[in-house]
Amino acid sequence: MQERIRNIAIIAHVDHGKTTLVDAMLKHAGVYRENEAITERVMDSNDLEKERGITILAKNLSIHHGQYKINIVDTPGHADFGGEVERVLKMVDSVLLLVDALDGPMPQTRFVLKKSLDLGLKPIVVINKIDRPGSRPDEVLNMVFDLFCELNASDEQLDFPVVYTSAKMGYAKLDINIESSSMEPLFAVVESNVRPPKGDASAPFQMLIANIDYNDYIGRMATGRIFHGKIKAGETVAMIKADGTITKGRITKLLGYEGLKQVDIEEAGTGDIVTVAGFDEISIGETLASAENPVAVPYVSIDEPTLSMNFIVNTSPFAGREGKWVTSRNIRDRLTKELRTNVSLRVEDTESADTFKVSGRGELHLSILIENMRREGFELAVSKPEVIVRVKDGQKMEPMEYLVVDVASEFQGAIIEKMGPRKGEMVAMAPMGDMVRLEFIVPARGLIGLRGEVMTDTRGTAVMTHTFHEYAPYKGDIPGRKNGVLMAMENGETTAYSLDALQPRGILFIGAGVEVYGGMIIGQHNKDNDLEVNPSRGKKLTNVRASGTDDAIKLTPPRLLTLEQALEFIDDDELVEVTPQSIRLRKKELDPTKRKRASKG
């Protein structure tokens, strides 16, 4: 059986069609019954993945095709979830590198491809969306080859097979000029080019845990790949922790994959990807091994976090109105639970019992956690994201990001100008028809708040992506937000009359009829200073009429900020208040007297 197993991961940039390709492969292999309702993007399992159309968690499935069993792992395309990718690559023997036939390789592609090349995996290149208007598969293939050379691929890795696909239309072909109507060529390439899993079926049992899930009935479930030997349900095995301690336990449930479904199986052998239950304390990166001869599998180290922010108990006047979980104990328990499955997250206590320092791989990584918490009924306040600075040989080092901006030629000057004060260094510039691709290496600090400005300058047409590059010497000060804010001076409900008078002062974030409190931010000021205003002033009604004063009030629609935009907008002395129904901006210090004193101090 071991000779017929093929373990592959699909890696690609966000939106290049990984999950859609998995859908097409499932359909071709006949995983669905003829009358079965088929959901689109079947691998995006949680609500946030479906809404945003991105993969956040790595997921497994298996397809039987002819005499072969193909285990596929769908990985996230976003660098913020790189921790998911790194541990998944340890489970597979090859990767399908998926590239859009129009966009070509993007920074995330570079990031994940480098990880897989370093592990010695031999990729298969899949050029997807060949049915897209303007697609240029030949040029993209050359770009992929150049990228392989740049990442120091070996000669064997450079000799990669290429498959052209349209996952949406459900066909694959080995030559762009040949007609095809099915995914069969892709399966043929996988079966002939991916090596069967290595490992000795007769050696003592050894399995590396790469994913953890939780089930209310079974408890913790650990998914991983069997490196050596075989395992049966009900068997007693040893669990080897990261620090080397060994405990024994019984496997209460052994699950394999049939298509997307987990099914009970009696035994599994070398090369299989399976899920086991029976161990409450097991974590990612630990080994299950034979009870008589326990030997640990060496584990791949995960990149350290580069960004941190404080999660603080909500202390605003509106605290506790919408949320179910509001105390520091609730927040601590939720963060501890998240640490079990989210390997690239770190949580530390601070001097204040109400504040936790949470570090992650990027803004998106942390904002997805906050979004999940607010949907579960939590209330909290979050501070401005800060990059994690290290000291190496007495020198201050900071994380650098590799930034790629695709923008219309007319806006390229504005983008280049933006990168100067942010200490960005241009490394490449390439025309792409009417568009230009600009590539920079820029400090991670310089990216905070950049997306909003770039979108404004390019009228929403720019495509911006970035990925962690390296730690480099500290680049000096980067100017923060230029504008001040408009903030409410007292509690009350906003009126159209009052907001109409405030419109010329700046951009408003709230409309009429919204409850506000003193110190809450209601808009962005046109000037660089903060301004206290009264948005809840009503019109004095008298029986004296004056001509022209009763014109209908026309309010410009407010600029409603998403969670990510709010985190990018705030300054050091401000917080984002997150509750199940609202996202509000506020000053850390709500008392105006104390705030003035602190700003002078």
Which of 326, 333, 382 is closest to 357 using CA atoms?
382
The answer to whether 529 is a known ligand-binding residue is no
Under the banding of pLDDT at 50, 70 and 90, the label for residue 335 is very high
The answer to whether 129 is a known ligand-binding residue is yes
Q: Measured between alpha carbons, how far is residue 341 from residues 2, 51, 115 in Å?
A: 29, 22, 21
Output b/e per residue, 442-454; b: 16+ Cβ within 10 A.
bbbbbbbbbbebb
User: pLDDT (tens digit, 9 = 90+) per residue, 139-179?
Assistant: 889 988 988 888 888 888 888 899 998 888 888 888 888 88
Mean pLDDT of 477-495: 90
SS3 content of the chain, % helix, strand, coil (to 5): 25, 30, 45
Phi, psi of 351 (to 5 degrees): -60, -30
DSSP 505: G
| Residue 109 half-sphere exposure toward CB, CA atoms < 13 A | 28
Q: How many residues does the chain have?
A: 601
The answer to whether 15 is a known ligand-binding residue is yes
User: pLDDT (tens digit, 9 = 90+) per residue, 76-101?
Assistant: 655 555 556 667 777 888 888 888 88
Does residue 548 surpass a pLDDT of 80? Answer: no
Report percent pLDDT > 70 for the chain: 90
Q: Mean pLDDT check: name the lowest of 44-53, 309-318, 548-557.
A: 44-53
Instruction: Find all residues with CB under 8 Å of 450, minimum gap 6, and list them.
Output: 418, 422, 464, 568
Q: Rounded distance, CA 200 to CA 188, Å?
A: 26
Superfamily of domain 485-576+583-600: bipa protein (2.40.50.250)
Q: What is the pLDDT of residue 451?
A: 80
Does residue 107 surpass a pLDDT of 70? Answer: no
The answer to whether 18 is a known ligand-binding residue is yes
Under the banding of pLDDT at 50, 70 and 90, the label for residue 72 is confident
The answer to whether 19 is a known ligand-binding residue is yes
Please provide the average confidence, as pLDDT, over all residues in the chain.
Answer: 84
Under the banding of pLDDT at 50, 70 and 90, the label for residue 575 is very high
Q: What is the number of other CB atoms lying within 10 angstroms of the CB of residue 60?
A: 23
Phi, psi of 427 (to 5 degrees): -115, -20
**What are 493's strand-pairing partners?**
515
Strands 171-173 and 261-264: unpaired
Q: Rounded distance, CA 100 to CA 13, Å?
A: 9
Task: Report the interhelical angle of 107-118 vs 82-89 (nearest 10°).
Answer: 30
Q: Mean pLDDT check: name the lowest of 393-407, 431-445, 449-463, 481-495.
A: 449-463
The answer to whether 193 is a known ligand-binding residue is no
**What are 257's strand-pairing partners?**
262
Q: Locate the domains of the chain by residue range.
A: 2-193, 206-290, 390-473, 485-576+583-600
DSSP 416-466: HHHHTTTT-EEEEEEEETTEEEEEEEEEHHHHTTHHHHHHHHTTT--EEEE
DSSP 594: H
The answer to whether 16 is a known ligand-binding residue is yes
The answer to whether 128 is a known ligand-binding residue is yes
Q: What is the number of other CB atoms lying within 10 angstroms of the CB of residue 257?
A: 21
Mean pLDDT of 93-116: 81
Under 8 Å between Cβ of 45 and 327 = no
Does residue 41 surpass a pLDDT of 50? Answer: no
Under the banding of pLDDT at 50, 70 and 90, the label for residue 547 is low
Q: What is the number of other CB atoms lying within 10 angstroms of the CB of residue 399?
A: 22
Q: What is the pLDDT of residue 329?
A: 94
Q: Measured between alpha carbons, how far is residue 278 from residues 216, 251, 286, 422 in Å?
A: 13, 5, 14, 51
Architecture in CATH of 2-193: 3-Layer(aba) Sandwich (3.40)
Task: Note the CATH number of domain 206-290.
Answer: 2.40.30.10
Under 8 Å between Cβ of 221 and 275 = yes
What SS3 state is found at 352?
coil
Q: Quick one: which H or E segment has residue 140?
A: helix 137-150
Instruction: Find all residues with CB under 8 Å of 301, minimum gap 6, and list them.
Output: none
Q: Rounded distance, CA 497 to CA 540, Å?
A: 10
Q: What is the pLDDT of residue 42?
A: 45
Q: What is the pLDDT of residue 38?
A: 47
Under the banding of pLDDT at 50, 70 and 90, the label for residue 47 is low
SS3 per residue for 402-419: EEEEEEEHHHHHHHHHHH
Does residue 373 surpass a pLDDT of 90? Answer: yes
Strands 520-525 and 171-173: unpaired
Tokens for 517?
Answer: 């409190």
Q: Rounded distance, CA 47 to CA 333, Å?
A: 22
Strands 231-232 and 206-215: unpaired
Q: Quick one: which H or E segment has residue 521?
A: strand 520-525
Does residue 106 surpass a pLDDT of 80? Answer: no
The residue ranking higher by pLDDT, 51 or 228, is 228
User: pLDDT (tens digit, 9 = 90+) per residue, 202-232?
Assistant: 888 888 887 777 777 777 888 888 888 888 8
Q: What is the pLDDT of residue 374?
A: 92
Q: Measured between alpha carbons, how far is residue 498 from residues 241, 527, 540, 541 in Å?
A: 62, 20, 11, 14
CATH of 390-473, one of 3.40.190.80, 3.40.50.300, 1.10.645.10, 3.30.70.240: 3.30.70.240
Does residue 58 surpass a pLDDT of 70? Answer: no
The residue ranking higher by pLDDT, 41 or 351, is 351
DSSP 80: G
Which of 102, 93, 188 is closest to 143 using CA atoms?
102
The answer to whether 93 is a known ligand-binding residue is no
Instruction: Find all residues with CB under 8 Å of 303, minimum gap 6, and list them.
Output: 82, 83, 86, 344, 361, 468
Q: What is the pLDDT of residue 348?
A: 92
The answer to whether 543 is a known ligand-binding residue is no
User: pLDDT (tens digit, 9 = 90+) per residue, 491-544?
Assistant: 999 999 999 999 999 999 999 999 999 999 999 999 999 999 999 998 877 776
Q: What is the pLDDT of residue 479?
A: 82
Does residue 44 surpass a pLDDT of 50? Answer: no
DSSP 18-67: HHHHHHHHHHHTT-S-TT----SSTT--SHHHHHHT---S-EEEEEEETT
